[in-house]
């Protein structure tokens, strides 16, 4: 049942990204172009996603088990540290350059868009690089997320 609901959630998410235009890098870059022909439509998409997410997290905080019976595991980290800020900056730069973030990049790659395939390959390379750096010996406390 978990596999089916995971598939269904991913399908709904992917369709939402396509319908909203988030899988279209030109639309995303138009949203990010504050000094040119700014397209504010994605602000409404993000606002809607934030509202839905806020309600979902409020409900989840009150539960100990998911609707499918799995243990509820919510993020515990609350600190804004150097790693968070650096990761956010890198994410923003990548989003602004490519017009993709991970979810829409995967959706567009699934639709066969060459730019998205390059983005996903670069994203996977970055993830592998991070894992390799984390595996280096050193102070474990500095690496703990």
Give the CA distances from residue 140 to residues 34, 86, 132, in Å, rounded to whole numbers and listed in that order: 41, 19, 14
With a cut of 70, say whether residue 142 has pLDDT above it. no
What are the structural domain ranges in the chain?
2-143
* Token pair in block for residue 14: 């992917």
The residue with greater pLDDT, 25 or 144, is: 25
Q: What confidence score (pLDDT) does residue 144 get?
A: 53
Per the prediction, the chain carries an average pLDDT of 88
Helices (H), 1-145: 2-20, 25-32, 41-61, 82-98, 102-110, 114-134, 140-143
Confidence of residue 145 (pLDDT cuts 50, 70, 90): low
Beta carbons of 53 and 66 less than 8 angstroms apart: no
Arithmetic mean of pLDDT, 28-44? 88
Q: Which of 59, 41, 45, 48 is nearest to 17 (CA)?
A: 45
Write the pLDDT tens digit of every residue in 58-68. Answer: 999 999 998 88
Q: Which of 122, 112, 123 is nearest to 23 (CA)?
A: 112
Structure-token match 């829409």, residue found:
104
């Amino acid at each position: 049942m978990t596999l089916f609901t995971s598939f269904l959630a991913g399908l709904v998410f992917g369709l939402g990204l396509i319908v909203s235009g988030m899988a279209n890098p030109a639309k995303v870059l138009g949203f990010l172009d504050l000094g040119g022909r700014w397209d504010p439509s994605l602000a409404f998409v993000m606002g809607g996603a934030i509202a839905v997410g806020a309600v979902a997290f409020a409900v989840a905080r009150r539960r100990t088990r998911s609707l499918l019976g799995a243990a509820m595991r919510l993020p515990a980290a609350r600190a804004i540290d150097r790693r968070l800020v650096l990761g956010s900056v890198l994410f923003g730069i990548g989003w602004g350059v490519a017009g993709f973030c991970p979810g829409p990049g995967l959706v567009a790659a699934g639709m066969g868009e060459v730019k998205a395939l390059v983005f996903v390959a670069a994203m996977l390379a970055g993830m592998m690089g991070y894992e390799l750096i984390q595996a280096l010996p050193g102070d474990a406390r500095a690496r703990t997320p």
